Amino acid sequence: MGAQNSFLHFMHRFVFWVLFAMVSCFVLRVLIVLDLNKRIYNHTPGPCRVLTEKFKGTSGLAYVESQKRVYVTLGYGKAHNLTTNTGIAFYNTNRTDGRSQQEIYDLIEMQINWNGYEYQNMFIPTGIDSYSSSNGRVLLYVVNAHPDHQCIHFFQVDNQKLNYRKSICDSSFTSLQDVAVVGPDRIFFTNMAAFGRGWAQVIEFALQTGQGVVYYYDGTKLAIAAPSVNAPTGLGYDSKRKILYVGSLIRESLFAYKVEKDMSLEVMYEMMLLTSPIGLFVESKSGDLWIAAHPVLHETAWHYTHVDRNKVHSSSQILRIRIQEEGKSWVTTEPYANDGATISASSAIVYTDEQMIIGSTFGRLLHCDLTHAHIT
Ligand SMILES: *[C@@H]1O[C@H](CO)[C@@H](O)[C@H](O)[C@H]1NC(C)=O
Ligand SMILES: *[C@@H]1O[C@H](CO)[C@@H](O)[C@H](O)[C@H]1NC(C)=O
């Protein structure tokens, strides 16, 4: 009798401690994910200036080498009910074409010829990428984050105008983030979570169920390239080495996938970053990675839920990663960091010719000259 009693007593304690440990683990994990232990110290790699603050959001950037242009998506804040214009602009990085000091910092807004597209008023662009063909044709692929019209739109560039070509939309698109082009009309893109926004999404993230998806579209049909990814965000494609990089918001890491001949994805490795990657940029020659990140997630959460309060900032961070020996090791530097006062919630990055352009989720577009690019 006594033995049975003490056994029950033991089981009781045992179950209690196991549950206690599990709950503690979960709480600790949430605390770590929220980055409550982190502080950001401001620094820049050289002189910086604001290119525009007219729009609530400059959340997507794409660099086109043949034109030396950086295309910028404008007005993502509208997806969170902010009042702002939306659209697409470009910044010309050519410093040898004799423009004045004033003109070299101009951002040129593009006129969009929608060719009668019936949902043209439901356009909130965010992620963007480009394809340049050998005959000089430049195509843009743009994520539409409109809550009621999530699509990827296809455009062709005609100097300072854009011609709308077509769209892919699907009822499974709930939180489209970014797009990466691997060929003409062949794209990978991310859907971050099963729930588009709000508390349902917060709970989904807390449980870390990994309902995010990487899609592949081959020009005619849509397929799932990677199911159950944990909150995938930005994409970057290294076309020389055929590697697709996928950021994970919640894991604070980057997944590297080998893109096979049949366009299927094979996981190569996961790179822990300890910061949430949002926008990626791959330097085509070296394969170096640039990452625009949200380093402090509890600030990010607050920022995203109080978008209409100007005083609520979220820190910004840019990382540069030089990969050695196909992912066996890498060297990380931090060319830029800011507590959110200059630029809040950095979400896109382009680096070219010693110039760095940083976009943000709900705010400004920043341009910095790198005075010592080789050591940055
Ligand atoms: C934006 O406004 C619409 C209409 O007022 C509302 O239904 C929706 O929930 C709002 N969205 C957010 C993110 O606040
Ligand atoms: C940059 O400007 C120079 C001088 O005008 C021009 O020759 C060159 O073609 C331009 N580069 C590009 C990519 O437009």
Domains of the chain by residue range: 34-375
> Which residue type occupies 349?
I
Does residue 225 carry a pLDDT above 90?
yes
Contact (Cβ atoms closer than 8 angstroms) between residue 85 and residue 74: yes
Rg (CA), the chain: 22
Domain 34-375 homologous superfamily, CATH: TolB, C-terminal domain (2.120.10.30)
Ligand nearest to the CA of 67: 2
Ligand nearest to the CA of 159: 2
Q: Please give the distance, rounded to the nearest whole angstrom, from the Cα atom of residue 147 to the centre of ligand 1.
A: 9
Instruction: Using alpha carbons, select from 108, 154, 159 the residue that is nearest to residue 131.
Output: 154
pLDDT at position 375: 73
Instruction: Using alpha carbons, select from 189, 193, 197, 192 the residue that is nearest to residue 152.
Output: 189
The reply to whether ligand 1 has any atom less than 6 angstroms from the CB of 80 is yes
Does residue 289 carry a pLDDT above 80?
yes
Q: How far apart are CA 230 and CA 154, in angstroms?
A: 27
Most informative mutation of 78, 81, 199, 306 for ligand 1 (most atoms within 8 A of CB): 81
The reply to whether ligand 1 has any atom less than 6 angstroms from the CB of 134 is no
Q: Is 88 annotated as a binding residue?
A: no
Does residue 108 carry a pLDDT above 90?
yes
Banded model confidence at residue 79, pLDDT cuts 50, 70, 90: very high
Q: Please give the distance, rounded to the nearest whole angstrom, from the Cα atom of residue 255 to the centre of ligand 1.
A: 33
Longest CA span, the chain? 96
Q: Which atom of ligand 2 is nearest to the CA of 94?
A: 1
Ligand 1, atom 3, residue with closest C-alpha: 81
pLDDT at position 17: 85
Does residue 198 carry a pLDDT above 80?
no
The number of helices, as runs of H, and strands, as runs of E, in the chain is: 3, 25
Contact (Cβ atoms closer than 8 angstroms) between residue 117 and residue 93: no
Most informative mutation of 96, 104, 138, 160 for ligand 2 (most atoms within 8 A of CB): 96
Q: What percent of the chain has pLDDT over 90?
A: 72
Query: What mean pLDDT do residues 88-101 have?
Result: 91
* Lookup: tokens for 300: 């990010």
Per-residue pLDDT of 311-369, as tens digits, reads 889 999 999 999 987 778 899 999 999 999 999 999 999 999 999 999 999 999 999 99
Q: Please give the distance, rounded to the nearest whole angstrom, from the Cα atom of residue 154 to the centre of ligand 2.
A: 27
The reply to whether ligand 1 has any atom less than 6 angstroms from the CB of 81 is yes
pTM over 0.75: yes
Q: Please give the distance, rounded to the nearest whole angstrom, from the Cα atom of residue 58 to the centre of ligand 1.
A: 21
Q: Please give the distance, rounded to the nearest whole angstrom, from the Cα atom of residue 79 to the centre of ligand 1.
A: 9
Instruction: Using alpha carbons, select from 289, 280, 298 the residue that is nearest to residue 346.
Output: 280
Q: Which helix (H) or strand (E) holds 29?
A: helix 2-33
Does residue 111 carry a pLDDT above 80?
yes
Per-residue pLDDT of 356-371, as tens digits, reads 999 999 999 999 999 9
Question: pLDDT: is 174 or 205 the higher one?
Answer: 174
Q: Which atom of ligand 2 is nearest to the CA of 67?
A: 13
pLDDT at position 1: 54
Q: Please give the distance, rounded to the nearest whole angstrom, from the Cα atom of residue 357 to the centre of ligand 2.
A: 19
Q: Is 128 annotated as a binding residue?
A: yes
**Summary mean pLDDT of the chain:** 92
Ligand 2, atom 5, residue with closest C-alpha: 97
The reply to whether ligand 1 has any atom less than 6 angstroms from the CB of 69 is no
Q: Please give the distance, rounded to the nearest whole angstrom, from the Cα atom of residue 106 to the centre of ligand 2.
A: 16
Kindly tell me the burial class for residue 202, based on how many C-beta atoms sit within 10 Å of its own C-beta (0-12, 13-18, 19 or more).
middle
Ligand nearest to the CA of 63: 2
Using CB distances shorter than 6 Å, the residues near ligand 2 are: 67-68, 94, 96-97
Ligand nearest to the CA of 83: 1
